[in-house]
Structure 1
């Protein structure tokens, strides 16, 4: 490819897609379908159901398909093309990740963002690109889904995940509910394996501190909520937190014309060093899952305590506005509302606001999600079996699910819910067991390949009787029997009782 492809972006993409098809053909991918079909009460059972069709779900689905596991579906409550955070609550201008990371490409060069970008805009444009624009990343994921023909069912919410006595997992679905369609309908789908590709929310949801509970919802939001920034024009807005999302939400309010924005940060200084970046390597990706538990906890506890800094671009985006005010060493010590005015107290002052945004992250408490209610009591968490060193307390880590090597849940009480071994947690909540391989761009392909290979092995093992019967029944001869004669038989010297092979 070269810069001339930018003159004909459609032709450039067409050529790239042809290259991808050829690459797959040369690698003999996808593998032929090999999983025996299973039915229950006349209904075809899915081999794998994936909840969530964002980046993690798409990557897992793609790798399963490459391994010959075709009988799968992805279910996402968002409309087509709006899956994940990229054009909903993500509010940065560009991705934080370096542009050259291969992300969900599964080691296929033609499937990388770079190949997709150069096919449309040329190599010179790629060289000039600073970082990947957030909205353009979503465009790439839409193409990824289309070019691989991944089976996504949109506008579909999973209301309940129910294990069954026959070992199958029932997904009670509500289709068409997101848009409030009159055609919304419920149905149940059965699956042998379920993958929870639920992104940064993981198994829980947005975390809002208790101090915020008495503030009316029309006066506050979590950074992952839909926010009408245009309605904040001329208003006094507060943002709690020092994360990337805190600065991105503050910038969005400022750019929409907010009269004043105050950022409240507990720390005495903004974190400046992204510690995990300093040890990023294939060793970390593949070695973390094999570390002793105490070392896993130690690594992630230290990472959480030091905290990743907000991107420099996000900080400068806020600092460019004179009406932006940063308050360090300013945890919220008091919070109340007087009519439609919010009063915030910190150790360094009192502030009156019209709106308050909590960029306070997410929690992983599975028992807070209605759809997981049937399985939540059975899921073993790290706190159920591991006690960290006294100087390393961390409730978020303690609430993480204690997964097995297949990303699957484990039972709190052995034998109480065996089907958990076929429900796989492929989202942020897997980090303590498997490392950062189930949600972030850098290692998402490695995580998806680990997951898909584990599911393939489990499916084969579960059907071993069928595969053994197929082994015995296979009768396609490679020799016709007339290629060469037995010299001893021709001479009449073979004993009559010599066994035939």
Structure 2
């Protein structure tokens, strides 16, 4: 256990305030304020107050806007970190600056060293998952964002009058809220939900779960559990089941071997971070498809967390052919390796993009343009995730499939994982989240300024702060008068 340094965070927060003061941040408010139906219109409404929402909100506020974040979770429980995530540590290297937006005092390292010192930082291997959530709670506190917890956005309705209407379920009831722009920052599954194979429907609900479900793993004690998949979430789910006393865990892995190399890590450099958005379509598709097809290996630590249990079994080359239900309700899983008798099945099968699966986006789902609508991929590079990815503009904004059919759609910006094909991985993962948030914020600021240019020009004309007041000089006499002197 690390020794805690008293007052360390107080000193760090003072340093952050000083840094912001030296940098003249946040910028002074400059937006043209709007109202509608007797209420103030929000500059930018952000759906989600997890890591992406916090970073986007802070980037916008540093540029002088006032975003408002809405999250359905209670305060301090935004995102998956202390709810459905089950890894012991983050996969990202500890030194990545993540959501710090170029401010050293806002980094995880600064927060950690302020409390536990440099030696503890040197000894730290990976960041514990729950400690990352503590850091994000602190980040929220020191960035002073307006966050409305236990607010669930039920409907997003773009309009033709430069507004987006939100129907929001709040602790006080249903509210109608107006914003000029909306940013969707609702996480890995924010534009769809769990991806389940067709045969999942054959398994009774009480006998299955997706790895992202809020399942009480203590309920698996003494049971024979199967986990479909071999990625990080599969290992985390398997390990949690074993630690909670599962009788056995069979990992059912379709591939003949586990992937060994994280190709996405090999792609990470400033060139890709800043250059992906400008690549030709075929290169964007080729890179993202290659990384998808190669698959990300599970972390070594997560895999060892499973394999150290004698009752864990790795079944490779083991796709599922058929599932039948035994008379006692248990599952008979038929595979090329034989039949597995199981009591419970966990699908660690990732997520899908499916706007129609999200009732809050029902009004826009059929109008937005996907990559499948705009691009024909090369032969052999079929990829459902890429096909369904939204086709986004330079500021992460949605585009209409048929122009004029959904006025105002471009006022909705996507700042979560499905933006990766258009923008690269700058909106969902720790490494480049600040770069993405700055791109988003600068883009939105530019759009607002262009939209209100007539008002801003009037403000320029009406600006009346004098630099000089008229007593700094005296008027010279005409040249003729000088000749007589």
* TM-score interval for Structure 1 and Structure 2 normalised by the shorter chain: over 0.9
Partner of 1:384: 373
Answer with 342-351 or 127-136: which moved more. 342-351
| 1:312-334 C-alpha deviation (Å, 9 max, x unpaired) | 00000000001000111111111
Q: Please report the TM-score for the alignment, with normalisation by the length of structure 2.
A: 0.97
Which residue of 151, 155, 161 maps to 1:166?
Answer: 161
Measured at CA, do residues 235 and 165 of structure 1 come closer, stay the same or move farther in structure 2, by a change above 3 Å? same
Residue 388 of structure 2 corresponds to residue 393 of structure 1: no
Q: How far, CA to CA, are the matches of 1:199 and 1:488 in structure 2? A: 73
Residue 40 of structure 2 corresponds to residue 44 of structure 1: yes
Q: Please report the TM-score for the alignment, with normalisation by the length of structure 1.
A: 0.94
Measured at CA, do residues 471 and 347 of structure 1 come closer, stay the same or move farther in structure 2, by a change above 3 Å? same
Deviation at 1:418, TM superposition (A): 2.8
Partner of 2:323: 335
Once the two structures are superposed, the pairs formed by residues 157-306 of structure 1 within 5 Å of their partners are 157-176=152-171, 185-306=173-294
Partner of 2:395: 406
Q: How far, CA to CA, are the matches of 1:485 and 1:201 in structure 2? A: 70
Deviation at 1:340, TM superposition (A): 2.3
Deviation at 1:140, TM superposition (A): 0.2
Specify the SS of the correspondent of 1:350: strand
Deviation at 1:269, TM superposition (A): 0.4
Measured at CA, do residues 477 and 124 of structure 1 come closer, stay the same or move farther in structure 2, by a change above 3 Å? same
Specify the SS of the correspondent of 2:339: strand
Partner of 1:466: 455
Measured at CA, do residues 491 and 279 of structure 1 come closer, stay the same or move farther in structure 2, by a change above 3 Å? farther
Q: How far, CA to CA, are the matches of 2:40 and 2:475 in structure 1? A: 51
Deviation at 1:156, TM superposition (A): 1.0
Partner of 2:445: 456
Residue 58 of structure 2 corresponds to residue 69 of structure 1: no
Deviation at 1:337, TM superposition (A): 2.1
Deviation at 1:486, TM superposition (A): 5.4
Deviation at 1:482, TM superposition (A): 3.4
Which residue of 286, 289, 296 maps to 1:308?
Answer: 296
Answer with 127-136 or 470-479: which moved more. 470-479
| 1:359-380 C-alpha deviation (Å, 9 max, x unpaired) | 0000012122110000111100
Which residue of 111, 120, 126 maps to 2:121?
Answer: 126
Once the two structures are superposed, the pairs formed by residues 64-103 of structure 1 within 5 Å of their partners are 64-70=60-66, 72-103=67-98
RMSD over aligned Cα atoms: 1.3
The answer to whether the 8 A contact 2:154-2:168 is kept is yes
Residue 8 of structure 2 corresponds to residue 12 of structure 1: yes
| 1:254-309 C-alpha deviation (Å, 9 max, x unpaired) | 01110100001111100000012113111110000100000000000000111110
* Corresponding pairs, count: 480
Specify the SS of the correspondent of 1:267: coil
Unaligned runs of 5+ in 2: none
Partner of 1:135: 130
Residue 422 of structure 2 corresponds to residue 433 of structure 1: yes
Post-superposition, which runs of at least 4 consecutive aligned residues in structure 1 deviate over 3 A?
6-10, 484-493
